[in-house]
Each structure stands twice: as structure tokens, then as C-alpha cells.
Amino acid sequence: MEGLKIVVGNRFNLPRLGTDVFSALMKAGVDYEKGGGFIFTAETNLQTATRTIESATGERIELSVKCFVCLKESCPSCPFEATCDRCAVSPTCLCDEHSAAEDAFGMYSRNFEARLAE
């Protein structure tokens, strides 16, 4: 089975899969923008959405998340990548650079506070 990589928070495209699949994705909280594609957000039921896409396309879905600080993809260099269940964790994490920083928790906290203030 081929694979499709989806980064939570980044837009992606799918082939036309029919109204039933589209409806199931919308019910799972997947956002869609005509001309922009689909996006998994914090509100998306990742397990249901990935299962729906896998069933409809026959492709295995590989999820990845972004660094909460710099917004770069954080999974490829993560030491926990092999065992992390991205359907069960936060849609944001810390990349290698920011998780190794001396003040990692402080950076995460300040970024969180700044986003709340927006």
C-alpha cells in the first residue's frame, strides 16, 4: 500500500473521492477550501479522518505535526517518531532544535501565551 504524508495544519489535496467520503471528512472536522484543498486542524478527529482517507484511497496515511515554536515539521527528526501515536497527541510539538534548547518549556509557554492573546 502506497503512503500519503499529511502534516497537521498544512493544506493537502486528494483526488475526487465522492460525496460520501467528502461528507465523512467534514463530519470528522476536516476543513476544506475550494481551490486550497483539505486541512487537518486541532478540531479534526485525526483517527476517523485518516481511516476514511485510507479506506477511500487505498493509501496508508502518515501524519506529521509542526513545531509549536517555528512551525517547521517536527516529526522526521524526533526520537519518538517510531512510537508516537499522532492521532492521540497534540497537533503541535517541538522540533529537534527547540526541544533541545535550554529553555524549551519557556519558549513553548511564551508562544502559547502569545497565541492566546491573538
* 10-14, 58-62, 103-107, range with the lowest pLDDT: 103-107
For helices 19-27 and 46-57, angle between their N-to-C axes, nearest 10 degrees:
170
> Alpha-carbon distance 117 to 110, whole Å?
11
Least reliable range by pLDDT among 67-71, 77-81, 108-112: 77-81
The pLDDT assigned to 2 comes to 62
**CA nearest neighbour of 71 among 9, 5, 114, 11:** 9
**DSSP label of 2:** -
Please compute the mean of the pLDDT values over residues 61-81 and round it to a whole number: 82
